[in-house]
Amino acid sequence: MSLLSDLLNWFSRPMPGANNPDVSMPFQLPFQEWIDDTKVPGLAITVLHSGEKVFQKGYGWADIEGRKPVDPQKTIFRIASASKPIASMALAKMVMAGQIDLDKSFYNYVPYFTKKQSDFTIRQLATHTAGIRGYRGKEYALNKPYTIKDSLELFQEDPLLFSPGTGYLYNSFGWVLISLAMEEVSGESFSGYVQKEILNPLGMNNTLVEVPGEMPEGKAVPYTRFNSGFRPAVPVDNRYKLAGGGYLSTTEDLVKLGTAVLENSLVSPEVMKEFLTPQKINGYSTHYGLGWQVSVDKSGRPYIGHVGNGVGGYSNFFVYPDDEVVISLLINCTDPKVQPLLDDLVLPPVLNQLSQR
């Protein structure tokens, strides 16, 4: 049986264990060195194994100037594209309720979007196979108070980059369109629907919409690294792209989402399998489902989750179903260039050690 089949079949299994806080695992992690070497300003990590919290720690500063240290339970970070799994779970709830059909035309839900040379579906938007373009120029760091609907002016007149279903291009505008369709179907704001259907049931109380000018208690200052050190990142307004990369959260909250996936507590196993099936283009896997990266790590372990990189925030959110491990790691800095180190020096030793428990 393939690794993908093993991964998908796992979701019909019950999950043992209870959430018993135990942060005693003696992982040898390089994070304090990263702080000392000014690779990152601040970092938080939480690790669950079989439902138990086995490691949780904060490093460095949530606010360098104010000398506020990172608290792994309470410090709130920009999570960038780790927002997509949150939005994906909300979309899955609508699919379960029969409110959205993944294979219906997007125009069934948003008929006023400018017509393209080809039709495309909700599934194609969610899997980055619809041909929608990515950011251009300053759009990555946009600071305009767009609503989701208003933001269509950024890209709705642009042609598709390829015929839907024939290519793959990762982007966040596709999830902007999905969130708009969800608003049209539900008759309520996307953020309100997610709050009601995902965040409240899971107790994700520190997962928030970032409102420019507001500084919720515990929010980390977003930084960008320069040769001279860290500076506060440029101001941005991410509310229009909440589904694709706009949420704030904590490592404590994100592991709750991972646990919900393992336990099938929000979405049925049947629907979850559909969302965790990577698409194929010309016979090759995209390693991406519907809002979830679906792949294997360098050691061959199947995982689902997402990496996120945004202005002033970087995230790793991974669920390893075979190992019953959930890892959430957040950094308050625009791309700190540490992903190869995480892939080689952090994640494998953690998983190897947990497999020997």
Q: Is the pLDDT of residue 7 over 90?
A: no
| Predicted confidence (pLDDT) per residue in 234-282, tens digit | 999 999 999 999 999 999 999 999 999 999 999 999 999 999 999 999 9
State the CB neighbour count (10 A cutoff) for residue 186.
18
| Predicted confidence (pLDDT) per residue in 288-300, tens digit | 999 999 999 988 9
| Predicted confidence (pLDDT) per residue in 336-356, tens digit | 999 999 999 899 989 999 988
**Which region holds residue 193: left if phi is over 0, alpha if psi is between -120 and 50, else beta?**
alpha
**Locus of tokens 């409102």:** 211
DSSP 104: S
**Locus of tokens 């229009």:** 240
Q: How much is the pLDDT for 11?
A: 44
- What is the DSSP pairing of strand 68-69 with strand 52-63? antiparallel
Domain interval for residue 326: 3-355
In degrees and rounded to multiples of 5, residue 280 shows phi and psi of -120, 135
CA angle 41, 195, 104 (to 5 degrees): 110
Q: Which pTM value belongs to this model?
A: 0.92
- Report the C-alpha gap between 55 and 52 in whole angstroms: 9
Total number of domains constituting the chain: 1
CATH number at residue 46: 3.40.710.10
Check if the beta carbon of residue 198 is closer than 8 Å to that of residue 93: yes
Query: Which of 250, 276, 272 shows the shortest CA–CA distance to 75?
Result: 250
